C-alpha cells in the first residue's frame, strides 16, 4: 500500500480520534454534572419538599412536591445512565474507531460517498456520520460484496450501489498498523489473521470479518423460523451472537436482552460465549440449557443430567420407544390425551388438613366435571379452584368449634391477641364474641396452607395423570407403525414409573410430563420472549422443539445445528428438519446452509470431513497447518508416555490443549494416570466448572461447541468406538481442534477412521 495512502488515512484517523476525544470530554462532564445534580437533589430533599400534613390541601401539596422531586431525580438518573453508556462506547471507539472504509456511488449520483464502519456509530454533528455502526443498513455493503454493484436491504427495500473502493484497517492505539484495499467480499487475508491466532477460554466477536452467508443469518428479520445447518466450525455460534447484537440494535427501545433466550448445549459453553455481547457493547441474553429449563420447572424431580443421558444406551425396543417419545406423533398424542381430560379421567388428590381429608378427591372430581362442555381445561380448573376456595371458607365455621381451636385460643399470649386485633381492627364487645373472633383468626391462619395448595393446583395428581397417560398411549398412537407391540410399550412405561417413584425422570419423559402439566393447568406460555435461539439443535427431539414452541408462543426461532454432530439423537436427527417443517409457516421459514469451516486448518478439516459418510459438501478454509497425527500404541503405558510428550510440546508452544475422552469415567482415570506421570492438567468433570488455560481433560459430551488450539483425542481404539453410532461423536471431538489434532489409540484404531485417506494424516506407532 502506497505510503501516502497510509499517511492520508492516518490523517483522517487523527481527525476522527480528536472528535471522539472531544465528545468523550463532553460526556464525561455530563456524567459528572448529572452525578452532582443527583447528589444535590438527594441532599436537599428535606429542604425542597415542603411537608405540610395539617390540612388536606397541605397533604396534597406535599405529595405533589415529593412527586416532582422524584421525577426530577428519575430524569437526571436517566440522563446520567445515557451519558455513561455513551462514554463507555466512546472509550472503546477511541482505541479502535473503525475497521473498514467503503467508497460507493448511489444510482445517478456523480460523486462517490465515503463511509467508515466501526463497532458503533459516531457523529460530530447531527446526521454527520464519521463512523457507521456495523449493524447500520448501509454497513451491509461491506459484508455483501466486493468491488462493483452490491445490493443491500434498507427499511425501504433493496438498494444497489456501485462500490468503488473497499479498504480494511488494523488500528492499534490510535495508529494505523495496516491498510489494504481489497476487491473481495471480506478479504481472506483479514480472515486468515483473525483465525490464525490462539484460542482463548472466551469466544471473541467476528464483526470485522463476517462472511456474506453469515450476514444473511445475522440480519434476517422476516423469518419465524430460521434454520441454520452448518458444518462444524462454520460460525453458527459466532453468527448467532452477532445476530443478537444486531437485533438489539435494530429494535433498540422495543427489544431488550431479557426478551431473548438462548438454549445452549451446556453450562460450560455458556461461560465460553458470555463475553461476546459485552464486547459488542450489548448485554447478554438469557442463557440456559434444556436440562436447566426442565429441572428448574420440576424442583422436586431429579431430571437426568447430560452425563447420565450420554451413558444411557438405547438398544432394540428401548430405542424405538425413545424415538416415539421424541416424535411429533407423541406431542400430538399428549395434546389429544389432554383434550379428552375435559370429559373424563382427570386424576385428583384429597385436600388434607392436619392429617385428615378435608375435601375428598371424589368431591373435587364432581366439581371439576360439573361445568358444561364449553369449558376448556384452563377455565374448568380456575372455576374448580374458585369453588374449592368457597368450600374452604364455609368450613371455617365448623372447624372453629373443634377442640384444638379452643385449646389454641387459650394458649394465645397477650401479644398474639394484640397482634390479631391490630391486623383485623375489630372491636371487642363481649367475651363470647372475642372467643369467636380469635377462633376464626386461628382457623383462617391454619387454612392458609390449604388455600395455597388450592391456588397452586396441588389437588391435581400430576404423577398419576402422567402414568395414566403413558399407559393410554397405545390407544392413541399406532405402535405397529413403530414396529412395537403394546406389551413392549407397557414394559418400558413400567420402567418410567419405577423411576418416577424414586423421584427421577429422563429428559424426554420430563418434557412430556411438563407439557401434560401445562395443558392440564392451561398454561399459556412465556409471552415476553420474542427471540429464541437453540444452539446444537440436532440434539433436541421434535417433541422438545414443539414443546418449546408451545412455551414461547410469541418467539421467533433461530435454530442452529449440524446434523453430523448429533451425539444424543443419532440418525433420528435427520428427520428433524422434516418434522420442523410442519410446525412453522412455510412462507416464514428460511433454511441457510453454511458449508465452509473456519475453525480448523485445511489439513484438519480435510481429515475430519472424511470421517463422515456424507462430508463431501464441507469446504475447508485455506489455512495451513500440520497433518493430524494418529498414534497407535500397544498398551496404555506407552500411550500415556506419548500423550505426555505431545502435551508438553503443546504447552511449550503456548497452545491451549484439550484432551477429550469418551466418558466421564475414562477421563477420571486418565486424569489420575497423568497426575502420576507428573503432567499437570485440569479435569472438567461438570459443566459448572470454568474453562482455564493450560491442559484440560474434558469428556466428549461437554466439549460441544468449544474449541481449542490443540486437541488430543484419548483412546480412539476399536474397543472404545466400535459402533457406527459413534461416528458423529468422533467427528464432533476431532472438529474441536483449531491448529493441531492428535489422535491416540490404545491398541487397534477404531474402524470409524477406515474411510479417511492415508495421505491426510501422519501415522505414529
Ligand X SMILES: Nc1ncnc2c1ncn2[C@@H]1O[C@H](COP(=O)(O)OP(=O)(O)OP(=O)(O)O)[C@@H](O)[C@H]1O
- Residue 195 interacts with ligand X (CB under 6 A)? yes
Find the shortest distance in angstroms from Cβ 735 to ligand X: 5
Decide if residue 210 touches ligand X (CB under 6 A): yes
Verify binding: residue 699, ligand X, rule CB under 6 A: no
SS3 for 681? coil
Q: Is residue 488 involved in binding ligand X (CB under 6 A)?
A: no
| Min dist. Cβ of residue 760 to ligand X (A) | 19
| Residue 210 CB, nearest approach to ligand X (Å) | 5
Minimum gap (Å) between residue 595 Cβ and ligand X = 11
- Comparing CA positions, the residue from 357, 358, 337 lying closest to residue 347 is 337
Contact range with ligand X by CB under 6 A, out of 2-10, 144-152, 236-244, 674-682: 236-244
Least gap, CB of 234 to ligand X (angstroms): 4
236 binds ligand X (CB under 6 A): yes
- Identify the residue whose cell numbers are 397541605: 58
Task: Say whether 231 counts as a known binding-site residue.
Answer: yes
Identify the CA nearest to 588 among candidates 290, 223, 303. Answer: 223
Distinct helix (H) and strand (E) counts, the chain: 27, 26
Q: In the set 38, 136, 194, 577, which binds ligand X (CB under 6 A)?
A: 194
Smaller CB distance to ligand X: residue 322 or 735?
A: 735
Bridging pattern class, strands 682-683 and 260-263: unpaired
Nearer to ligand X, 169 or 550 (CB): 169
Q: Which residue in this structure is represented by grid cell 400534613?
A: 53
Please pick, from the candidates 562, 579, 709, 715, the single residue that binds ligand X as defined by CB under 6 A: 562
Which residues are registered as beta bridge partners of 288?
263
Residue 707 lies near ligand X (rule: CB under 6 A): yes
Q: How many CA atoms lie within 13 A of 159 on its CB side?
A: 18
Using CB under 6 A, pick the residue from 735, 742, 745, 750 that binds ligand X: 735
CA neighbor of 324 nearest in space, from 701, 579, 548? 579
C-alpha to C-alpha distance for 507 and 302, rounded to whole angstroms: 10
**599 lies in the site for ligand X, by CB under 6 A:** yes
Binding of residue 705 to ligand X (CB under 6 A): yes
Given the complex with ligand X, which of 206 and 716 has the nearer CB atom? 206
For helices 316-325 and 328-340, give the axis angle rounded to 10 degrees.
Answer: 60
Rank residues 566 and 716 by Cβ distance to ligand X and give the closer one. Answer: 566
Q: Which residues contact 478 (CB under 8 A, 6 or more apart)?
A: none
The reply to whether 237 sits near ligand X by the rule CB under 6 A is yes
Compute the least distance from the CB of residue 207 to ligand X, in Å: 9
Q: How far apart are CA 735 and CA 713, in angstroms?
A: 11
SS (H, E, C) 698-762: EEHHHCCCCCEEEEEEECCECCCCCCHHHHHHHHHHHCCEEEEEEEEEECCECHHHCCCCHHHCE
Q: What is the number of other CB atoms lying within 10 angstroms of the CB of residue 314?
A: 13
To the nearest whole angstrom, how small is the minimum distance from the Cβ of residue 599 to ligand X? Answer: 4
Q: Which helix (H) or strand (E) holds 713?
A: strand 708-714
Does the annotation place 236 within a ligand binding site?
yes
Q: Toward ligand X, which CB reaches closer, 169 or 368?
A: 169
Q: Would the annotation count 234 as a binding residue?
A: yes
Distance between CA atoms of 589 and 229, rounded to whole angstroms?
13
- The cell numbers describing 92, all together, are 472503546
Of the pair 232, 364, the CB lying nearest ligand X is at 232
Minimum CB–partner distance for residue 577 and ligand X (Å): 16
Distance CA 321, CA 541 (A): 13
Stretch in the footprint of ligand X (CB under 6 A) among 136-144, 207-215, 484-492, 671-679? 207-215
Q: Which of 134, 368, 550, 598 binds ligand X (CB under 6 A)?
A: 598
Give the three-class secondary structure for 558: strand
**Per CB under 6 A, 409 contacts ligand X:** no
The interface region with ligand X, picked from 22-30, 149-157, 162-170, 210-218 by CB under 6 A, is 210-218
Q: For residues 260 and 367, which CB has a smaller minimum distance to ligand X in the complex? A: 260
Choices 56-64, 106-114, 208-216, 365-373 (CB under 6 A): range interacting with ligand X: 208-216
Between 230 and 699, whose beta carbon lies closer to ligand X?
230
Contacts of 752 by beta carbon, 8 Å cutoff, 6+ apart:
611, 721, 724, 726, 727, 730
Q: From residue 587, give the alpha-carbon distance in Å to each of 24, 223, 224, 344, 545.
A: 47, 8, 9, 39, 19
| Residue 540 three-state SS | coil
Ordered alpha helix ranges (H), 44-160: 45-48, 56-95, 140-144
Start-to-end CA span in the chain (Å): 49
Please report how close the Cβ of residue 636 comes to ligand X at its closest, in angstroms.
Answer: 30
225 binds ligand X (CB under 6 A): no
Helices (H), 251-402: 267-273, 276-279, 290-297, 306-311, 316-325, 328-340, 361-368, 377-400
Q: Is 233 in the site for ligand X (CB under 6 A)?
A: yes
* Residue 211 binds ligand X, judged by CB under 6 A: yes
Q: Is 191 in the site for ligand X (CB under 6 A)?
A: yes
Q: Which stretch binds ligand X (CB under 6 A): 234-242, 279-287, 332-340, 635-643?
A: 234-242
Specify the 3-state DSSP secondary structure of 19: helix
Residues 6+ apart with CB under 8 A from 92: 119, 120, 281
Q: Does 474 bind ligand X (CB under 6 A)?
A: no
- The answer to whether 677 is annotated as binding is no
> In 3-state terms, what secondary structure has residue 6?
helix
Q: Which residue is nearest to ligand X (CB)?
A: 235
Pick from 214, 259, 544, 700 the residue near ligand X by CB under 6 A: 214
| Residue 232, annotated as binding a ligand | yes
- Binding-site annotation: residue ranges for ATP: 230-237
Report the interface residues with ligand X, using CB under 6 A: 191, 194-195, 206, 209-211, 214, 230, 232-238, 562, 565, 598-599, 705, 707, 735
Binding-site annotation: residue ranges:
230-237
Amino acid at each position: 500500500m502506497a505510503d501516502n495512502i497510509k499517511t492520508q488515512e492516518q490523517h483522517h484517523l487523527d481527525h476522527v480520534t480528536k472528535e471522539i476525544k472531544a465528545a468523550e470530554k463532553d460526556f464525561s462532564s455530563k456524567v459528572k454534572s448529572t452525578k452532582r445534580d443527583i447528589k444535590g437533589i438527594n441532599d436537599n430533599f428535606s429542604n425542597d419538599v415542603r411537608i405540610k400534613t395539617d390540612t388536606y390541601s397541605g397533604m396534597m401539596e406535599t405529595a405533589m412536591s415529593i412527586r416532582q422531586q422524584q421525577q426530577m431525580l428519575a430524569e437526571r438518573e436517566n440522563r446520567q445512565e445515557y451519558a455513561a453508556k455513551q462514554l463507555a462506547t466512546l472509550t472503546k471507539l477511541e482505541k479502535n474507531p473503525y475497521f473498514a472504509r467503503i467508497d460507493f456511488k448511489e444510482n445517478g449520483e456523480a460523486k462517490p460517498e465515503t463511509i467508515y464502519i466501526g463497532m458503533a456509530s459516531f457523529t460530530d454533528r447531527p446526521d454527520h456520520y464519521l463512523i457507521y455502526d456495523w449493524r447500520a443498513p448501509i454497513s451491509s455493503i461491506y459484508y455483501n460484496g466486493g468491488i462493483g454493484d452490491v445490493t443491500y436491504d434498507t427499511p425501504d427495500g433493496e438498494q444497489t450501489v456501485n462500490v468503488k473502493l473497499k479498504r480494511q484497517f488494523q488500528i492499534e492505539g490510535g495508529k494505523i498498523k495496516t491498510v489494504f484495499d481489497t476487491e473481495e467480499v471480506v478479504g481472506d487475508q483479514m480472515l486468515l489473521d483473525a483465525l490464525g491466532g490462539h484460542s482463548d477460554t472466551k469466544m471473541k466477536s467476528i464483526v470485522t470479518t463476517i462472511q456474506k452467508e453469515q450476514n444473511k443469518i445475522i440480519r434476517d428479520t422476516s423469518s419465524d423460523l430460521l434454520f441454520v445447518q452448518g458444518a462444524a466450525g462454520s460460525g453458527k455460534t459466532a453468527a448467532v451472537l452477532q445476530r443478537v447484537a444486531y437485533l438489539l440494535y435494530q429494535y433498540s427501545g422495543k427489544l431488550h436482552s431479557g426478551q431473548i433466550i438462548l438454549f445452549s448445549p451446556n453450562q460450560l459453553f455458556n461461560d465460553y460465549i458470555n463475553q461476546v455481547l459485552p464486547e459488542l457493547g450489548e448485554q447478554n441474553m438469557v442463557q440456559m440449557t434444556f436440562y436447566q429449563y426442565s429441572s428448574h420447572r420440576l424442583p422436586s424431580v431429579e431430571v437426568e443430567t447430560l452425563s447420565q443421558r450420554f451413558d444411557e444406551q438405547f438398544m432394540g425396543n428401548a430405542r424405538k420407544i425413545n424415538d416415539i417419545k421424541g416424535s411429533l406423533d407423541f406431542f400430538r398424542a399428549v395434546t389429544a390425551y389432554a383434550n379428552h381430560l375435559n370429559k373424563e379421567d382427570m386424576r385428583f388428590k384429597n385436600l388434607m388438613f392436619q392429617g385428615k381429608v378435608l375435601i375428598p378427591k371424589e368431591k373435587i372430581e364432581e366439581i371439576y366435571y360439573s361445568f358444561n362442555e364449553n369449558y376448556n381445561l384452563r377455565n374448568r380448573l380456575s372455576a374448580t379452584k374458585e369453588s374449592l376456595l368457597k368450600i374452604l371458607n364455609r368450613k371455617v365455621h365448623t372447624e372453629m368449634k373443634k377442640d384444638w381451636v379452643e385449646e389454641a385460643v387459650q394458649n394465645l399470649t397477650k401479644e398474639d391477641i394484640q397482634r390479631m386485633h391490630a391486623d383485623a381492627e375489630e372491636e371487642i364487645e363481649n367475651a363470647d364474641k372475642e372467643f369467636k373472633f380469635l377462633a376464626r383468626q386461628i382457623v383462617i391462619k391454619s387454612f392458609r396452607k390449604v388455600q395455597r395448595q388450592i391456588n397452586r393446583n396441588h389437588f391435581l395428581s400430576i404423577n398419576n395423570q402422567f402414568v395414566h397417560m403413558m399407559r393410554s398411549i397405545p390407544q392413541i398412537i399406532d405402535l405397529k407403525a413403530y414396529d412395537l407391540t403394546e406389551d413392549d410399550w407397557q414394559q418400558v412405561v413400567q420402567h418410567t414409573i419405577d423411576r418416577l417413584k424414586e423421584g427421577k425422570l429422563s429428559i424426554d419423559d420430563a418434557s412430556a410430563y411438563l407439557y401434560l402439566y401445562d395443558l392440564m393447568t392451561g398454561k399459556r406460555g412465556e409471552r415476553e420472549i420474542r427471540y429464541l435461539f437453540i444452539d446444537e439443535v440436532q440434539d433436541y427431539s421434535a417433541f422438545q422443539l414443539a414443546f418449546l414452541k408451545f412455551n414461547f408462543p410469541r418467539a421467533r426461532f433461530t435454530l442452529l445445528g449440524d446434523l453430523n454432530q448429533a451425539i444424543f439423537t443419532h440418525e433420528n436427527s435427520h428427520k428433524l428438519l422434516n418434522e420442523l417443517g410442519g410446525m412453522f409457516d412455510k412462507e416464514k421459514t428460511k433454511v441457510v446452509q453454511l458449508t465452509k469451516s473456519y475453525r480448523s486448518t485445511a489439513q484438519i478439516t480435510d481429515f475430519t470431513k472424511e470421517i463422515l459418510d456424507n462430508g463431501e459438501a464441507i469446504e475447508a478454509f485455506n489455512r495451513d497447518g500440520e497433518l493430524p497425527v494418529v498414534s497407535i500404541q500397544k498398551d496404555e503405558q506407552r500411550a500415556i508416555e506419548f500423550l505426555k510428550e505431545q502435551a508438553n510440546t503443546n504447552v511449550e508452544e503456548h497452545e491451549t490443549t484439550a484432551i477429550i475422552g469418551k466418558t466421564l469415567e475414562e477421563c477420571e482415570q486418565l486424569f489420575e494416570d497423568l497426575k502420576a506421570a507428573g503432567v499437570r492438567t485440569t479435569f472438567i468433570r461438570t459443566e459448572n466448572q470454568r474453562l482455564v488455560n493450560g491442559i484440560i481433560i474434558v469428556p466428549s459430551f461437554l466439549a460441544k461447541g468449544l474449541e481449542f488450539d490443540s486437541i488430543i483425542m484419548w483412546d480412539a481404539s476399536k474397543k472404545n468406538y466400535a459402533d457406527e453410532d459413534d461416528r458423529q461423536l468422533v467427528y464432533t471431538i476431532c472438529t474441536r481442534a483449531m491448529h493441531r489434532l492428535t489422535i491416540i489409540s490404545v491398541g487397534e484404531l477404531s474402524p470409524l477412521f477406515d474411510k479417511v485417506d492415508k495421505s491426510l494424516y501422519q501415522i505414529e506407532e
